[in-house]
Structure 1
Amino acid sequence: MKITKLRPLILHAPVTRGGIADSTHSITHWGAPGVAIHTDSGHVGYGFSGTHAHLPTDRLIVDCITNSFGPLLIGEDPCEVRALWEKLYHQSEIYWVGRAGITHLALGAIDIALWDLKAKQAEQPLWKLLGGTNQKKVEAYNTDGGWLNWPMETLVSDCQRMIDEEGYRAVKIKIGGPSANEDLRRVEAVRTALGPDVRIMTDVNGRWSLPRAIQTGGRLHDFDITWIEEPICFDDLEGHRRLAQSISTPIAMGEQLYLATQFRDFIHAGAVHYVQPDIVRLAGITEWWQVADLAHCYRLDVVPHVGDMCQVHQHLCLAHPACSLLEYIPWLRDWMLHPAIVEDGYYVAPETPGAGMEPTAEAIAKINQI
């Protein structure tokens, strides 16, 4: 099987209720710039990144895919995924202008598409190709009801509905608003409504200063919070280390780390407890697996951030021993041919060959209109 061409793709999917917000951004659509890799066997592999649906940025990503990385892929065997990752990372001129950010997002989309092709050629779902078992249970926690722009009543009712009607036993809510006391009132209201047996995660999206994180984050212990996510600036290794020593609530982070070496440094410093690598920020599945193995060596739980809207990450969690819990956000559900399925709070193991990123015909038509 040889690669014959690359086709750039840009998909923009509307988010919940027309718009959501965390402590730093508000968005109406989720962007999925990516690629379809065609082969002489007729197999097509799909890989997407994840953005805030900013069209000029998305075009930069797909331009990098097709013009910078694409010429190095034509004629290659797509099943030699790890060797191709090394080739693209080290031999492209991109190496000299940036080893993170847009270039990494582009390489990640390609890597996902290559793994998709490898699984399709083997006629297996990716989780099985990677050595997983459908006997494993991966619990889902729902993030899509805890947005910071929801008023208190909506926040509480959405979280209650997820537990009572949809079968989840864990939810995540956004905090990091202007008032620390309001943040705590939101957490207290959700805990009171859901009771003591439901896991509640909180996410600050890097908004707090270290003093506020120590003061407000320390009070989250009173509500039995599973973790506080991205409490301070994403790149502040020393700040996370000092915070981890100052509060009892565990720290989760990683969605804004782009390199395996960054994860190495945070893990080694004891600055993170729940490790959250994302294939769309790291350079795809190949680098994600390195991070998951590293975290497993430290006996830390890997709970991925889902910039792919959980389509590929469900496969990885089914296959990797460090994973038993995965975020769920449904924004690409109507755009994928085989969307991720959660039943009674757990992911259903996909049976279709591939990595789960193939868009529907309707999605392809919308892609052509962008």
Structure 2
Amino acid sequence: MKVVEIRGYLLGFAPSPAIGNATRMIRRRDFLLLELVTDTGARGWGEVFASPAAAAALVRTRLAPIILGASPHHHGRLYDRMLGTLGYDRRGPGMMAISAVDMALHDLAAQDRGISVAEALGGALRTRLPAYASAPFITTDAAEPYGHYQTEIDGILRRNFRALKPRAGVSPRADGIMAMAVRRQVGPDISVMVDINQGYTARAAIESARHMEEADLLWIEEPVQPEDVPGYSMVSAAVPTAIAGGEALGSLAAFRDFLAAGAMSVLQPDLTVCGGFTGFLRIAALAAAYDLPVMPHVFGTVVNMRAALQAAALVTPRRGAPGEYPWIECDASANPLLDLAGALPVSADGTIAVPDAPGTGLDLQSERLAPWISETWRLAA
């Protein structure tokens, strides 16, 4: 089996209504999907969500000569060769481009063996994962940025979610009022986390955490800028709630620095940023030395969602509150790119099944992407 063609799809959509967080309103969501095609006709998929256009250029100019004609089964060797092309760009679009290729190579290699990626990487440790709804989102266009949360949370609970992650970061006092209102609404048995999306300085994050403390949060995510190790350390030392982050970190060295500083309690590498399956598993191994939970950040299309399920199934369980980590993140906003190959339902117990079909279990026909495509390209061996 050899890769004979690389197909790139730049695509996106305008969320309706627009969704917001502590730093911005998101009025457009853009992605790069990579489709690697082999001489057997198999197709593997990878994704970039953070810098899709830049990553696409790097795939075409730097990575394609390495991948075309190569066997997907050599994904470890190919990963090291791709890393060698980065130069100074070890935490940006270069790593994102490698991430998409690595995801697709693992998908193809497992398909060729007729087994899932999790099976190919040693075997899944679980067949189901507890899911949390990544929502609701702030509406800065409204007089009350949190005013719609109650209605949206009612809908989230009707979808069987037993955990949810609303966005926070309007102001420390407003955050506290919101978090307590959410806790009263959902009761004591639903897990609640909040995501500040890098919106505060360390001192403001500490003040916000103190206002939210009685809401019994599972974690507070990205309270400060993504590579602010001293800021994360200050927040972690000052508040009892677990501090989570890592979705914007693209290198193993970046995670090493946070772990050495004791700056995070929950790590959330994103497969589309940190190096695909290879990068994720290296980070998980590093975290295991500190006995810290690792779970994938997921906020993109069905491609990353399916890959993240396979990756999360490989992670050694860590005790959480309640139950065990890892959780799987589910974008609960209106995202048509999550249902391109059929929705993954949340069961009555709040879990999602890990697909055991070959590869990532994704049977995606590129024709389904047509309504959202802005540009396509192809490179052949």
TM-score with structure 1 length normalisation? 0.90
1:167 to 126, 144, 160: 160
> Aligned match of 1:336 in 309, 334, 340?
340
RMSD, matched Cα: 2.1
Q: What amino acid sits opposite 2:5 in the alignment?
A: K
3-state SS of paired residue (1:343): coil
TM alignment of 1:302-317, pairs within 5 A: 302-309=294-301, 310-317=305-312
Q: Which residue of structure 1 aligns with residue 322 of structure 2?
A: none
Quote the Cα distance in structure 2 between the aligned partners of 1:18 and 1:203.
Answer: 19
Q: Tell me what 2:226 maps to.
A: 234
- CA distance in structure 1 between the aligned counterparts of 2:265 and 2:9, rounded to whole angstroms: 36
Aligned position for 1:365:
370
Aligned partner letter, 1:100: R
- Whole-Å Cα distance in 2 between the matches of residues 60 and 213 of structure 1? 32
Residue of structure 2 in register with 1:3 after alignment = 3
Question: Matches of 1:13 and 1:350 in 2, distance apart?
Answer: 27
1:190-205 → structure 2 map (5 Å cutoff)? 190-205=182-197
Q: Which residue identity is paired with 2:2?
A: K
* SS of residue paired to 1:142: strand
> What is the correspondence of 1:71-150 to structure 2 with a 5 Å cutoff?
71-90=65-84, 92=85, 95-133=86-124, 135-149=126-140
Counterparts of 1:216 and 1:334, CA distance in 2:
32
Residues 148 and 175 of structure 1 are in contact (CA less than 8 Å); yes or no, is this contact kept in structure 2?
A: no
Q: Determine if contact 1:214/1:246 at 8 Å carries over to the other structure.
A: yes
Bigger mean CA deviation after superposition, 130-139 or 314-323: 130-139
Deviation at 1:221, TM superposition (A): 1.7
Work out which of the residue numbers 294, 310, 316 in structure 2 matches 1:321: 316
CA distance in 2, matches of 1:258, 1:77: 25
Q: Post-superposition shift, 1:135?
A: 4.8
Equivalence map 1:229-308=2 (5 Å): 229-308=221-300
Contact 1:280 1:308 in 2 (8 A): no
Q: In terms of mean alpha carbon deviation, does 251-260 or 28-37 score higher? A: 28-37
1:210 alignment partner in structure 2: 202
Distance 1:269 1:135, change over 3 A: closer
8 Å CA contact 1:47, 1:357 repeated in 2: no
Query: Residue in 2 aligned with 1:54?
Result: none
CA deviation profile, 1:176-205 (whole Å, cap 9, x unmatched): 11x322121111111111111111101111
1:50 aligns with 2:46: no
Query: In percent, how many aligned pairs have the same letter?
Result: 26
Would you identify which runs of 4 or more consecutive aligned residues in structure 1 move more than 6 Å?
none
- The gaps in structure 1 that reach 5 residues or longer are 52-56
Q: Which stretch has the larger CA shift, 126-135 or 269-278? A: 126-135
Shift of 1:368: 5.4
Of residues 63, 70, 84 in structure 1, which corresponds to 2:64? 70
Q: 1:240 to 1:97 in 2, by over 3 A?
A: closer
| Secondary structure of 1:292 counterpart | helix
| Partner SS for 1:281 | coil
3-state secondary structure, aligned to 1:34: strand
- Contact 2:160 / 2:346 at 8 angstroms: preserved in 1? no
Residues 216 and 144 (structure 1 numbering): CA distance in 2 closer, same or farther, change over 3 Å?
Answer: closer
Structure-1 separation of matches of 2:291 and 2:196: 25
Paired letter, 2:22: S
Partner Cα distance (1:230, 1:67) in 2: 33
Q: 1:279-303: CA deviations, max 9, x gaps?
A: 1111211011111122122221112
Give the drift of 1:124.
1.5
Deviations 1:93-139 (A, max 9, x none): xx224122111111111111101101111111222222334854310
Query: TM-score w.r.t. structure 2 length?
Result: 0.88
